Structure formats: structure tokens, C-alpha cells
Amino acid sequence: MQYNRSMNMVSISRKSLVVAVLLASIIGVTGWGAVAKTQAVTNKVEKHRTIEGSLYSAGEQIVVDGTVNGDVHCAGQDVMIAGTVNGDVLCVAQTLTVKGKVTGSVRAAAQDLTIDGQIGHGATLAAETLDITKRASIKQDMTAFASNSKIAGTIGRDGVISGGASTLTGTVGRNITYNGSDLKLGDGAQVKGAVRYESNKSIQIADKAAIAGNVTREKNQKASGFSAVLLLIILGACYIFALLLVLVWPQALHATSDIAVRSLGKTMLTGIAAAFAAPFAIALIAATLIGIPLAIFLSLAGTVIMMLSGPVAAYYLGSMIMSRSKNAVAIMAVGAGVLLAVYCIPVVGMIAAVIAYFIGSGALLIALKRKTEKPDYRVV
């Protein structure tokens, strides 16, 4: 059954705020204060427009060319922030470009992430491909996880980089800490502090690169390299698992996800209640000894629900981002990609995983209850 998700203003507002709740929860408590004073839910802020208060956006394309006097919370396929944000930017997307001015911090996850403007505070970034251009400026610290990163701009204080290959040709105001496969300091690179790195390969330093402090190679390089590869393998396996599920059961995933779309609060409360009550119930049943088989069955059922909760939450997020799409595979591909990218952000990823579990397990339990008919003990 296909449900009608029309793009009138009420439905846009509801969907955007639902996604904003998820984003604000996984990125920090500052989002909750912004929810209270938000005055705009839109996917486009024109060049000469000013938003007084925080902005919430969810859709395939999001463009901020004007001014936002508050935080920007967004989830989209293609996101462009070219105007001025007098606050923080908290965003997940497939492609994200920040080329305007952000007076606060940027916390973002995307497949392709480009910083081409000014960030007044710090930045926490997760991406497959990260590009910090020559004209980009991050006034305070930067923490980044990326399969491939190029840093040509200016980082005011410390830079912490994890993931794959990284090339630095810009300026770092203090220290660089790196954990990945390959670190290069090209011509023009300036590090005004020390460089500490952990890699299977030795650092490559160009003749015209300048490092004020010491260059130190940490121990346990093989273990760290193995950990990074293992993380990528796990994330890739989860992505493939989610796509296989939607290929086999597209309508079932859509219907289950729609439970969260229609009632997010009830869905999350169900997931939270089950998460806290189920372990105690299983322990009590097992303690009776005769209930051990039932306890084992419930434990296995809980494991299945836990494995399915991630894909359900990913499909839900994808349906919010691609609200006009009717292609279940595309919805899952975008939602799973964004959610897995968020998982890579330290601390934030852990919180995101918990929230995704609450949403996914709650939707699954409600769907299971609706599908379970009252037993008829009469046999024919």
C-alpha cells in the first residue's frame, strides 16, 4: 500500500521537524533550545532573505543563500550553504557544501563534503570525500573522519584526522594528530605545532612544507590500521544488508517505517520501553529454570529486532530526506548512507545508534502487534 505524502506546508513542517528532532538528538542538546525558538521550516532561503531564529530543512535539495540568525538543522540529498549563518550548522547529506560564513560550529556528515567558506568556531566532519579548499577557514579545532581528505585551508588550532589518505597543503595553528593509511604534507603546508601520526606508511613531507614542532610516529600502527579497515568493512556490510532487505521486502519496510512517520513519539516510547523492560523480563523468566527455553527464544527474537532496527531507521530517515521519491531502493540507499556516516562521528555516532535503535525497534514491535491476530484455540 502506498501512502500519500503530499508536500503541502503542514506535511513539510512535520517531516522537517521530525528529522530535526533526530538530528538535534544525535548532535547535541543545543538543538533542543533551537527547537523552542524556531521560526522557519523551508528548503530554500533566498539571497536577500533573513530568518530570525533557527532553520529546519529536510528534502532532496536545500539551499541557504540568505542569512539565518540562528542554527541550521538539515537533512538532504544535496545541501548548499552559501549565505550567512549566525549560529551552528548541524547537517547530514549525500552532498554538502559550506561556502558561506558560519559564525558558530559545523557538525556534519556527508558522502561528499566541501568546506569553502568561514567557520567561526570548530568543525566535526565525517565524509567519504572531504575537501577543505584554500579559501576555507576554521577558526578553532577540526575533527574529521574521511576515506580521502584534502586540507588546503586554515585551521586555527588543532586538527584531528582519522580514516584513509589525507593531504595537507594548508595551515594548522597548533598540532596535527593523524590516524590513517597515508599522510602527506605538500608544498605550502604549515603546522605551527607538532605532528603526531599513526600509520603503516611513513609521513611524506614536501621540501616547502614547514613544521614548527616535532614529528612523532606513534606505536601500534598495524593495530590501528586494522581497526580502520575493520570499521569500513563493518559499515559496508551494514549498508549491503540494508539494501538487500529493501530489495527483498520493499513494501514491508515502507509500511514499518511509515509507523514512525505517522507517530514518532509513540514509536520511540515503544522502543525505549522495550529496551529497558525486555532484559529484566528475560532474566526473570530464565531464573525460574523452567522458563529457560522461552528466555532463549525471546533473546533470539530480540537479536533479530536489533539487527532489523537499523535498516528500518535508515529507511525512515531516507523517506524524510527524499520525501518525493517513490523508489524504495533509492530511499534506503540515501538513508543508510547518511545514518552510517553519522555513526562515524565520535560520541555523536553512539548517540545516533541508540536513537536509531529506539525508532527501528519501536516501529517493528508496533508492526508485529498489528499483524498478530488473536489466537483461535478451536481446531477443525
Q: Give the pLDDT mean for 300-307.
A: 91
Task: Say how far apart CA 254 and CA 334 lie, in whole Å.
Answer: 14
Neighbours of 235 (CB within 10 A): 16
Name which of 198, 196, 153, 193 is nearest 175 in CA terms: 193
Helix (H) / strand (E) containing 73: strand 72-81
Sign of CA dihedral 228, 351, 118, 127: positive
Q: Give the pLDDT mean for 67-91.
A: 89
pLDDT band at 142 (very low <50, low <70, confident <90, very high): very high
**Residue 8 predicted with pLDDT over 50:** no
**Residue 89 predicted with pLDDT over 50:** yes
**Residue 16 predicted with pLDDT over 60:** no
Co-location of 100 and 248 in the same domain: no
Q: Is 100 exposed, middle or buried (0-12, 13-18, 19+ CB in 10 A)?
A: buried
* 71: amino acid identity, one letter: D
Co-location of 69 and 168 in the same domain: yes
Query: pTM of the entire structure?
Result: 0.61
Q: Give the pLDDT mean for 69-93.
A: 88
Q: Which residue has the cell 605550502?
A: 188
pLDDT tens-digit readout, 32-45: 333 434 446 678 89
Answer whether residue 179 is part of any domain: yes
> Residues 139, 141, 145, 150: what is their CA dihedral angle, to the nearest 10 degrees?
40
**Residue 3 predicted with pLDDT over 70:** no
Task: Say how far apart CA 162 and CA 224 lie, in whole Å.
Answer: 10
Residue 114 confidence (pLDDT):
96
Neighbours of 135 (CB within 10 A): 13
pLDDT band at 308 (very low <50, low <70, confident <90, very high): very high
**Residue 302 predicted with pLDDT over 60:** yes
First to last CA, the chain: 33
Answer whether residue 37 is part of any domain: yes
Highest mean pLDDT among 2-16, 278-292, 344-358: 278-292
Buried b (16+ CB within 10 A) or exposed e, 263-290: ebeebbebbbebbeebeeebeebbeeee
Answer whether residue 378 is part of any domain: no
**Residue 20 predicted with pLDDT over 50:** no
* Cα 161 → chain centroid: 17
Q: Are 334 and 321 in contact (CB under 8 A)?
A: yes
Co-location of 199 and 310 in the same domain: no
Answer whether residue 304 is part of any domain: yes
Neighbours of 252 (CB within 10 A): 14
Co-location of 62 and 211 in the same domain: yes
Co-location of 136 and 169 in the same domain: yes
Residue 13 confidence (pLDDT):
40
- Among the three residues 201, 220, 239, which one is the final residue of a domain in this structure? 220
Domain that holds residue 307: 226-371
pLDDT band at 291 (very low <50, low <70, confident <90, very high): confident
For 53: left if phi > 0, alpha if psi spans -120 to 50, otherwise beta; the answer is left
pLDDT tens-digit readout, 202-220: 899 999 999 999 999 876 5
* 159: amino acid identity, one letter: G
Residue 346 confidence (pLDDT):
62
Q: Give the pLDDT mean for 153-163.
A: 92
Residue 343 confidence (pLDDT):
78
Co-location of 119 and 243 in the same domain: no
139 φ, ψ (degrees, to nearest 5) = -70, -35
The DSSP line for 206-257 is -TT-EESS-EEE-S-HHHHHHHHHHHHHHHHHHHHHHHHHHHH-HHHHHHHH
Residue 10 confidence (pLDDT):
37
- 7-21, 57-71, 248-262: which has the minimum mean pLDDT? 7-21
Answer whether residue 68 is part of any domain: yes
Co-location of 157 and 251 in the same domain: no
- Furthest-apart CA pair in the chain: how many Å? 87
Answer whether residue 365 is part of any domain: yes
| Domain count across the chain | 2
**Residue 53 predicted with pLDDT over 70:** yes
Task: Say how far apart CA 145 and CA 162 lie, in whole Å.
Answer: 5
**Residue 194 predicted with pLDDT over 50:** yes
Task: Please provide the average confidence, as pLDDT, over all residues in the chain.
Answer: 82
Task: Say how far apart CA 251 and CA 294 lie, in whole Å.
Answer: 31
pLDDT tens-digit readout, 254-282: 999 999 888 888 888 899 998 888 888 88
- Among the three residues 220, 250, 282, which one is the final residue of a domain in this structure? 220
**Residue 345 predicted with pLDDT over 60:** yes
pLDDT above 70: percentage of residues in the chain: 84
Residue 40 confidence (pLDDT):
60
pLDDT above 90: percentage of residues in the chain: 39
Residue 36 confidence (pLDDT):
37
Residue 227 confidence (pLDDT):
60
Residue 92 confidence (pLDDT):
77
Residue 15 confidence (pLDDT):
43
- Among the three residues 178, 201, 220, which one is the final residue of a domain in this structure? 220
Q: Which residue has the cell 541508540?
A: 354
Sign of CA dihedral 12, 15, 18, 19: negative
Co-location of 81 and 24 in the same domain: yes
Residue 304 confidence (pLDDT):
92
